[in-house]
Structures are given as C-alpha cells and as structure tokens.
Amino acid sequence: MPRCSKCKTKKDLSEFYKNRTQSKGYSSRCKECSKADQRNLYKDNPERRKTRAKAWKLRYAEDLKVKRRANRKAIYMSESARKYSTTVEAIKELLEITNCQICDAEIIFGHQKSHYRPNIDHCHKTQKIRGVLCGHCNNLLGRAKDSVSILEQAAEYLRKFNGSS
C-alpha cells in the first residue's frame, strides 16, 4: 500500500489520482490531501483564481462560442422533436425554411434579436406543427389566441382606419 507524501498515512491505491508523470503511475499525495491543497490555494489567494479564470476565458473564448452555437441548434432541434412528438430530421427539414410563412421576413437561427429567429408554429389543441414563423407573426397568432375571427376583426379595424391619423 502506498503512503501519502503529505499526511504520511498508508492508503489503498484507489485513494490516489492517476498520474503518468510519476514513476509508479499515481500521484504521491492522496486524493483528500490533493483536494485540500487546491481548496487552500484558491482560498488563500482569490485573485489568482480570478486571473486564471479570466485568462482561460480569453484563450478559449472563440472556441467556446463556436461550440455553443453548434450545440444550441442541436439542443433546440432535439427538444422541439420531443415537444411536438416528431423526429429530429423533421425539425431539421422544417428549419431549412428561411422566410416567415406569413410576412415573408427572413428568419435566421441564432440571430441576436429573438423576433428574427425561427419559431415553430403549432396548433395548441392538437400540438400539430403548422410551419415556421418569425417572432412577430408568432406573437400575433398567440395574442389573437389562434382565433380567425379575432384576426378578421383586426383586419377590418385596420381597413376602417387605414389612411387616417
């Protein structure tokens, strides 16, 4: 049984981290002592932790941004497939639509402004997918409670007052 170089107690090999740089293939300190050292290192010097975290973020910022963007779409597609009881392929095919099916505005996945991102339109009663809309048109249908009569009344209202201030 190996002995920890810090606490000097003999422990089972499973109590030591693997370390290929050591001759025996394991760290000279036990897991408990290694964890305590790391906690104390940052506890005694919180500024070091902040500067190291900041440096790491700067070094890998672009990579993280790319990974997040790629992952965001995959997560959105799998969650949507589960939500609407369909396949990821069906959602992927649906998201290939590049314009809103009501106002024909361009929709782009990952756009900074949420109203320009694709919104999967569905019937709230049956959960069946109807198409892809921009955020504005999706809100329009939602606020009208998917009611054709409300939308017709709104259109009539606009016709009545069209051109007047």
Distances (CA, A) of 28 to 6, 7, 14, 38: 8, 11, 12, 15
> How many percent of the chain have pLDDT more than 70?
98
Considering the entire predicted model, what is its pTM? 0.55
Dihedral (Cα; 9, 14, 16, 20), 10-degree rounding = 140
User: Mean per-residue pLDDT for 50-73?
Assistant: 88
pLDDT at 153 over 60: yes
pLDDT at 69 over 80: no
Q: pLDDT digits over 17-35, tens only? A: 999 998 889 999 999 999 9
Distances (CA, A) of 23 to 3, 18, 20, 35, 163: 15, 11, 7, 22, 86
Residue spans per domain, the chain = 45-96, 98-165
- Confidence (pLDDT) at 80: 92
Least confident of 33-37, 68-72, 130-134, 152-156: 68-72
- Confidence (pLDDT) at 164: 53
Q: pLDDT digits over 92-145, tens only? A: 999 999 999 999 999 988 888 888 999 999 988 888 999 999 999 999 999 999
User: Mean per-residue pLDDT for 58-77?
Assistant: 87
What's the CATH class of domain 98-165? alpha beta
